[in-house]
Structure 1
Amino acid sequence: MNWAEIGTYFAAICLFVGAFFALVGTFGLIKLNDSMTRLHAPTKVGTMGIGMILLASMVYSFVQGQGSLHELLIMAFLFVTAPISANFISKVNIHRRSCDTPPELAKTEEWSTLVQREEDAGAHPEQTLSKG
């Protein structure tokens, strides 16, 4: 067994793992109840599933002698943007009150996403939260 065969088998394993994560993420996106629990499915697919598929592409291109590092840039972009977009989507759900609000904290602590200062309340009335 030479290095080309080992690389091909490794790429195939990476493809199967990536496809498995994509399948589980799709199933979770369809079957989970509300938007906050549904949020976990695409973020896992974006990081692990697509990451493994891109790793398989990179390994296979090196095995074929046409090395490519473009996949590393794509992976870096996905690994940076997936958590940020998930954070913003969850904050929107909290502000729209379309999910359970976080539990009450002690009077000295605050949830940073739900803080509304007095000086901000009068500045832009169209941006205040509606309860409904």
Structure 2
Amino acid sequence: MALYLLSAFCLMAGLLFFLAGTLGLLRLPDLLTRLHALTKADNLDLGLVILGLVFQTPDQPLRAFKLLLIWLFVLIASATGAHLIAQRALRSKSYQDDR
């Protein structure tokens, strides 16, 4: 019973961070701050959701390992994507004219 409550707590916290990242994407003024808010919240909310799902499978360590690998690969991909987007934005003339 305690694992299900902990799982529900992690899933709800992940949902709150997802909503916070979405709000940051909609409300923040420029590309770099939006990107920062979105990647930070996205990495944390996915981690909490994965953790909540891991608590749902206490007797299946292979499934839990696969979930954690998914989180690791998404962390790497989102960091790489955010870096490429920010680098491209800083190199573009249109972004530097807005500042």
> TM-score higher than 0.5 here?
yes
- Runs of 4+ in structure 1 deviating by more than 6 angstroms, as ranges, are none
Matched, 1:46 2:42: yes
Structure 1: runs of 5 or more not aligned = 102-132
Matched, 1:22 2:18: yes
User: Map of 1:58-73 to 2, 5 A cutoff?
Assistant: 58-62=54-58, 65-67=59-61, 68-69=63-64, 70-73=66-69
Rg larger in structure: 1
Which string of whole-angstrom CA distances, capped at 9 and with x for unpartnered residues, describes residues 84-115 of structure 1?
111111001011134348xxxxxxxxxxxxxx
Structure 2: runs of 5 or more not aligned = none
| Amino-acid identity (%) | 31
CA RMSD of aligned residues (A): 1.7
| TM-score, normalised by the number of residues in structure 2 | 0.84
Between Structure 1 and Structure 2, the one with more helix by share is: 2
Which string of whole-angstrom CA distances, capped at 9 and with x for unpartnered residues, describes residues 17-66 of structure 1?
1011101000000111111111112212321001110110111122xx44
SS of the counterpart of 1:33?
coil
| TM-score, normalised by the number of residues in structure 1 | 0.65
Q: Which of 70, 75, 79 lines up with 2:75 in the alignment?
A: 79
